[in-house]
């Protein structure tokens, strides 16, 4: 036990405003682990019931990552090679909040994506679309004091995959968010508005509430566009916020 | 106003483009006294290895202190201690190995003390959300017996959370499904 024993019952730690517990989310807030239309879930989901974990110091803390380790061009995927990648240049920006609307500052945001032709720079991706020698498809940055992040990239293309006959993934950018606590860790995908592949994609539709689906879709933002340079999309991300639930009193 | 969370989506098969870092599998700097390895494999419900898994580990230092982003609970004094490791590779064979130090006991609910443990997030293609588990250490019998979380797990399943000591480290396998299915938590 450390000298500064942590009181797990209060919602905020008075000293540094750290939540001491996070709101438990309803099951439907995220897609189910067992979702037959996405075939790979079949043997990769637990069948035993999940066990209730009290939120302790382990769950309400989170790592300090990326400080002093990020390169200047890590958030510009169009300037990581000698030439420019082919494709529609875009700026993707937004803010990272908790569900109380509090910005999450200084936390690592990582993205990865296919190139404009829908091909990933990964040895397992071998569908017949061209690789782009000027595009690796990975970026990272830390959120600023207002929780803001920003990337410059090219719009990824849609691509076929083997889930079912004529299956296509809508264009998307993968996002990894560390948040400020193990309890907030989230990996998701950002989609583009009006994608015609939405109705046919089991991964997008694994989120069944249409309003929740829209929370994964970026907005086109004319005000964020860079004239004569780049179109712009805004994608705000919400991680679970502080709170307690009746369940906690049961333990 | 309470906002709704952004939903989770699968990490997919191609995360190795962006998520691995050179120092990712090390929670401590090279040469830290007391360094141990934790290694194992991830298996699916058919007993096949999961070659495209991404694992993340989060833990306290030997004094039970974290290297928290905002210094929560008093920062770790172990030099260079990150407390976080990430293992995921482009061309995996289902195995993983991280370098760390054994964590100390950490406060638990209602004045209890938790046995040394490592929080683990499991991501993979085919997993629409992460699965959360914990690594405990089989050679911490007394502390484990008093651990409030282990005690909340049905006795017959507790062994799935115990890393077994081997020469200089510990072995811990993850079974996503099947007769040896690992205990996963909701938090």
Q: Are B168 and B156 in contact (CB under 8 A)?
A: no
Distance CA B141, CA A20 (A): 28
Residue A140 lies in a domain: yes
- Asked if the Cβ–Cβ distance from A58 to B58 is below 8 Å, we say yes
Distance CA A97, CA B29 (A): 31
Residue A3 lies in a domain: no
End-to-end CA distance of chain B: 23
A2 pLDDT above the threshold of 60:
no
Distance CA B32, CA B101 (A): 8
Q: Which run of H or of E encompasses B56?
A: strand B53-59
Strand partners, A142: A108
Going by their DSSP bridges, the two strands A219-220 and A148-154 should be labelled as unpaired
Predicted ipTM of the assembly: 0.97
Which range among A62-71, A73-82, A198-207, B118-127 shows the weakest confidence by mean pLDDT? A62-71
Q: Which residue from A minimizes the CA distance to B82?
A: A63
Is B108 touching A (CB cutoff 8 A)?
yes
What local confidence, expressed as pLDDT, does residue A215 receive? 98
Is B11 touching A (CB cutoff 8 A)?
yes
What local confidence, expressed as pLDDT, does residue A17 receive? 67
- Asked if the Cβ–Cβ distance from B9 to A122 is below 8 Å, we say no
Burial of A52 (0-12, 13-18, 19+ CB in 10 A): middle
- A-to-B residue pairs, Cβ atoms closer than 8 angstroms: 277
What local confidence, expressed as pLDDT, does residue A4 receive? 45
What local confidence, expressed as pLDDT, does residue A11 receive? 55
Residue A98 lies in a domain: yes
What local confidence, expressed as pLDDT, does residue A67 receive? 85
Distance CA B177, CA B163 (A): 18
Nearest in space to B67 (alpha carbons), one of B33, B19, B100: B100
Distance CA B127, CA A228 (A): 41
Residue A6 lies in a domain: no
Chain A CB contacts of B17 under 8 Å are 112-113, 120-122, 136-138
- Asked if the Cβ–Cβ distance from A111 to B18 is below 8 Å, we say yes
Distance CA A101, CA A24 (A): 17
pTM surpassing 0.90? yes
Sign of CA dihedral B42, B43, B49, B54: negative
Q: Rounded to 5 degrees, what angle do the CA atoms B175, B181, B185 make?
A: 95
Nearest in space to B39 (alpha carbons), one of B77, B83, B84, B95: B95
Q: Is residue A159 annotated as a catalytic residue, yes or no? A: yes
The domain tally of chain A equals 1
Nearest in space to A175 (alpha carbons), one of B123, B43, B8, B115: B8
- H helices of chain B, where? 141-145, 148-151
B5, B48, B64 ranked by CB distance to A239: nearest: B5
The residue segments making up the domain with residue A59 are 12-249
B73, B84, B109 ranked by CB distance to A251: nearest: B109
Chain A CB contacts of B16 under 8 Å are 122
- Asked if the Cβ–Cβ distance from A33 to B127 is below 8 Å, we say yes
CA dist A242 → A21, A120, A238, B3 (Å): 6, 37, 12, 12
Residue B67 lies in a domain: yes
Instruction: State pLDDT tens for residues A168-217.
Output: 999 999 999 999 999 999 999 999 999 999 999 999 999 999 999 999 99
DSSP codes joined into one string, A233-245: EE--EEE--B---
What local confidence, expressed as pLDDT, does residue B73 receive? 75
The percent helix, strand, coil of chain B (3-state, each to 5) is 10, 35, 55
Distance CA A165, CA A167 (A): 6
Question: What is the mean predicted confidence (pLDDT) over A90-100?
Answer: 97
Q: Is residue A38 annotated as a catalytic residue, yes or no? A: no
Residue A7 lies in a domain: no
Residue A2 lies in a domain: no
Q: Which run of H or of E encompasses B85?
A: strand B84-87
For residue A49, give the CATH number of its domain. Answer: 2.60.130.10
Task: Catalytic residue, from A172, A180, A191, A240: name it.
Answer: A172
The residue segments making up the domain with residue B132 are 15-175
A70 pLDDT above the threshold of 90:
yes
With cut-offs at 50, 70 and 90, classify the pLDDT of residue A248. very low
Q: Which residue from B minimizes the CA distance to A247?
A: B187
What local confidence, expressed as pLDDT, does residue A12 receive? 57
What local confidence, expressed as pLDDT, does residue B92 receive? 93
Q: Is residue A233 annotated as a catalytic residue, yes or no? A: no
Instruction: State pLDDT tens for residues A107-161.
Output: 999 999 999 999 999 999 999 999 999 999 999 999 999 999 999 999 999 999 9
Distance CA A95, CA A107 (A): 11
Q: Is residue A30 annotated as a catalytic residue, yes or no? A: no
Residue A37 lies in a domain: yes
The domain tally of chain B equals 1
Chain B CB contacts of A180 under 8 Å are 69-70
For residue B40, give the CATH number of its domain. Answer: 2.60.130.10
Tens-digit pLDDT profile for chain B (187 aa)? 789 999 999 999 999 999 999 899 999 999 999 999 999 999 999 999 999 999 999 999 999 999 998 888 778 999 999 999 999 999 999 999 999 999 999 999 988 999 999 999 999 999 999 999 999 999 999 999 999 999 999 999 999 999 999 998 999 999 999 999 999 999 9
Distance CA B185, CA B56 (A): 15
Residue B112 lies in a domain: yes
- Asked if the Cβ–Cβ distance from A2 to B152 is below 8 Å, we say no
Chain A CB contacts of B88 under 8 Å are none
What local confidence, expressed as pLDDT, does residue B55 receive? 98
Residue B21 lies in a domain: yes
Residues 30-89 of B with CB under 8 A from A: 44-46, 48, 50, 52, 56, 58-60, 63-74, 82-84
Residue B3 lies in a domain: no
CA atoms within 13 A on the CB side of B154: 10
Residue B35 lies in a domain: yes
């Amino acid at each position: 036990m450390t000298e500064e024993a942590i009181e797990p019952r209060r919602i905020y730690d008075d000293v540094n405003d750290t939540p001491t517990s996070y709101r438990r989310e309803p099951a439907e807030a995220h897609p189910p682990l067992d979702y037959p239309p996405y075939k790979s879930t079949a043997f990769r989901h637990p069948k035993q019931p999940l066990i209730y974990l009290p939120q302790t110091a382990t769950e309400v803390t989170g790592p300090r990552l990326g400080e002093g380790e990020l390169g200047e061009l890590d958030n510009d995927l169009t300037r990581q090679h000698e030439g420019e990648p082919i494709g529609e240049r875009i700026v993707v920006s937004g803010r990272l909040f908790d569900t109380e609307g509090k910005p999450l500052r200084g936390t690592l945001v990582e993205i990865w994506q296919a190139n404009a032709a829908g091909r990933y720079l990964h040895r397992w991706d071998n569908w017949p679309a061209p690789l782009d020698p000027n595009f690796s498809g990975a970026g990272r940055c830390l959120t600023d004091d207002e929780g803001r992040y920003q990337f410059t990239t090219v719009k990824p293309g849609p691509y076929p995959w083997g889930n079912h006959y004529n299956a296509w993934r809508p264009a998307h950018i993968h996002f990894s968010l560390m948040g400020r606590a193990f309890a907030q860790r989230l990996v998701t995908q950002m989609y583009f508005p009006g994608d015609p592949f939405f109705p046919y994609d089991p991964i997008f539709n694994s989120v069944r509430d249409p309003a929740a689906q829209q929370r994964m879709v970026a907005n086109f933002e004319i005000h964020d566009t860079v004239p004569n340079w780049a179109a712009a999309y805004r994608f705000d991300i919400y991680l679970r916020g502080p709170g307690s639930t009746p369940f906690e009193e049961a333990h | 106003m309470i906002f709704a969370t952004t939903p989770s989506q699968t990490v997919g098969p191609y995360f190795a483009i962006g998520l691995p870092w050179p120092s990712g599998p090390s929670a401590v700097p090279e040469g830290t006294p007391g360094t141990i390895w934790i290694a194992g494999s991830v298996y699916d419900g058919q007993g096949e290895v999961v070659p495209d898994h991404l694992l993340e580990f989060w833990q306290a230092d030997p004094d039970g202190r974290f290297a928290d982003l905002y210094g929560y609970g008093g920062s770790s004094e172990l030099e260079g201690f990150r407390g976080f490791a990430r293992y995921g590779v482009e061309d995996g064979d289902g195995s993983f190995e991280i370098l760390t130090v054994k964590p100390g006991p950490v406060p638990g609910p209602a004045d209890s003390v938790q046995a040394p443990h490592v929080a683990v997030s499991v991501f993979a293609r085919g997993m629409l959300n992460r699965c959360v588990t914990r690594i405990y250490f089989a050679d911490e019998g007394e502390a484990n017996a008093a651990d409030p979380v282990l005690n909340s797990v049905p006795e017959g399943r507790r062994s799935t959370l115990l890393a077994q000591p081997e020469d200089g480290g510990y072995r811990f396998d993850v079974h996503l499904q099947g007769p040896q299915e690992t205990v996963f938590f909701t938090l």
